[in-house]
Chain A
């Protein structure tokens, strides 16, 4: 049985360093998630109500962000802004900007979908019962929309956590970079380290995202 390279993890502070890298990636995604949730809610409501001009503008933004791979967006912000405006954004800041832009687009689309999924008759019945516009929104539309929205936004969170792994490509020192460093440093002592270390990284991402997506699935089943 040849070595699987797992022993590298127990040498020195290697495992701690991996966890540190994971935290860097997670921090970027948590900040972007927080920003996207707030902005996405606002924009989503704007889109399902607002006037034609706002909607048209939003549509363009949404379609562009939807159709471009996140890597391209990262490149646009990371390389593009330094050339166009002379800004020297750090990799971490660029990725927060990109993932917030992307997350906001996805979130606002979810909000719009959730609001428009409430059947029109609910709205009309509530009006017929003499409720004001505000009351209808608060007591009738919102509770129904939220039930649909919460599982979907939890799913979006796992997608954002997974997508954050891309920041490696613009030079942020996150978990994959740390993994590469550990493998390089132990090239002589354990040549098979790549297997064990990348497997560990794989499992770490899995253990991070799996419980969250299980939660989303359960909520979906309960409220669906």
Chain B
């Protein structure tokens, strides 16, 4: 292990890791928004949009992110939709993640028993109140594990961004290996940086899961 080389490229990897995290977080944020929008449309059963959402979810869940990115980055400019690589990365992550988030929200909403709804209504709560104080907290608690899993999954998926020439961790590692053949050092840094990004998320996730388990009681 060549430590002086590691010290030398550390800033380079740090910059790449920041890019990974930044695009990952923005993408996940958009994914959550898309997911919320989709589950809202499904919940309210809006006629045409509902079908669109179903088609979107099937399309996005059954294709790999790499193919989606290729289509967005190389395919769409041909019909006049041109964006930067970073915007493509965010769009790809939002397209892929949106459906996973929507499914997580839906499973949460479905898991809340019908009796909860009926009981709340018979206690005199209005429809909105029922949703806000009875259904939503429970649904959220139930979907937390799935949401955490999705966040980790999406962060991991950011590793394919190098395919659309974003200078992320994978790109930097491959570049350095190609230039100086310091394979061991680069792979070590690659693993270390991904651990630094992903381990805290995973630990925080399991902490959060333990905190919000209140929906499991009284069923």
Q: How far is the CA of A70 from the CA of B156 in the complex (A)?
A: 8
B residues within 8 A CB of A75?
170, 173-174, 187, 190
Inter-subunit contact B194/A169 (CB<8 Å): no
Q: Interface with A: B8-16, B34-42, B55-63, B114-122, which one?
A: B55-63
Residues of chain B in range 51-85 having any CB-CB distance to chain A below 8 Å:
58-59, 61-64, 66-68, 70-71, 74-79
Say yes or no: B71 contacts A205, CB within 8 Å. Answer: no
Per-residue 0/1 for A50-87: is the Cβ within 8 Å of any B Cβ (1 yes, 0 no)? 00000000000000000111111001100110111000
Contact pick for B78, options A82, A83, A195, CB 8 Å: A195
A187-224 CB mask vs B (1 if < 8 Å, else 0) is 00001111101110110011001100100000000000
Question: Which of A33-41, A90-98, A115-123, A159-167 is the interface stretch?
Answer: A159-167
* Docked pose: A106 CA to B62 CA in angstroms: 18
Question: Which residue among A2, A166, A198 has the maximum number of chain B CB atoms within 10 Å of its CB?
Answer: A198
Bound together, the chains give a CA A168 to CA B162 distance in angstroms of 12
- Let me know if B184 is at the binding interface, CB within 8 A: yes
Residue B160 at the A interface, CB < 8 A?
A: yes
> Is B173 a contact of A165 with CB atoms below 8 Å?
no
Residue among B78, B156, B184, B195 with most chain A CB within 10 A: B78
**Residues of B contacting A191 in the complex (Cβ-Cβ under 8 angstroms):** 78
B157 within 8 A of A: yes
| Contact size range, B | 35 or more
B63/A206 in contact, CB under 8 A: yes
> Are B59 and A176 in contact (CB-based, < 8 A)?
no
CB distance from B180 to the nearest CB of A (A): 12
The one of B75, B174, B184 that contacts A199, using a Cβ cutoff of 8 Å: B75
Q: Does A5 contact B (CB under 8 A)?
A: yes
Give the nearest-CB partner of B60 in chain A: A206
CB distance from B107 to the nearest CB of A (A): 11
C-alpha gap A20/B51 in the complex (Å): 34
Chain B residues, Cβ within 8 Å of A162: 62-64
Tally of contacts, chain A with chain B, CB under 8 A:
111
* Complex CA–CA separation, A117 to B187 (angstroms): 38
Main secondary structure of the interface of B (DSSP, over half): helix
Contact A209 B170 (CB under 8 A): no
State A192–B79 Cα separation when bound (angstroms): 8
Q: Does any Cβ of A come within 8 Å of B136's Cβ?
A: no
State whether the Cβ of B125 lies closer than 8 Å to any Cβ in chain A: no
Task: Give complex CA distance A176, B194 in Å.
Answer: 26
What does the 1/0 interface line of A121-156 toward B look like (CB < 8 Å)? Answer: 000000000000000000000000000000000000
Question: Which of A71, A162, A205 has the most B CB atoms < 10 Å from its CB?
Answer: A71
Whether B66 lies near A166 (C-beta < 8 A) is: yes
Q: Interface digits, A167-186 against B, CB 8 Å rule (1 contact, 0 not)?
A: 01100000010010001000
B187 to A79, Cβ gap below 8 A? yes
| A194-B74 CB under 8 A given contacts A72-B159, A168-B163, A205-B62 | yes
**In the assembled complex, which residues on chain A have CB atoms less than 8 Å from the CB atom of B173?**
75
The answer, among B61, B70, B77, B177, for a CB contact under 8 Å with A176, is B70
A165 touches B66 (CB 8 A): yes
Q: Which of B62, B152, B158 sits near A209, CB closer than 8 Å?
A: B62
In the complex the two chains form, is B183's CB within 8 Å of A79's CB?
yes
The CA of A82 and the CA of B199, in the complex, are separated in Å by 28
Q: Apart from A70-B156, A84-B184, A194-B74, what are 18 other A-B pairs with CB-CB below 8 Å?
A: A67-B202, A69-B157, A69-B194, A71-B162, A75-B174, A76-B191, A83-B183, A158-B62, A163-B64, A166-B160, A169-B162, A169-B163, A176-B70, A191-B78, A198-B71, A199-B71, A201-B71, A202-B68
A residues contacting B by CB (< 8 A) are: 2, 4-5, 67-72, 75-76, 79-80, 82-84, 158, 162-163, 165-166, 168-169, 176, 179, 183, 191-195, 197-199, 201-202, 205-206, 209-210, 213
In the A-B complex, the 3 residue pairs with the smallest Cβ-Cβ separation, listed nearest first, are: A69-B159, A83-B183, A209-B62
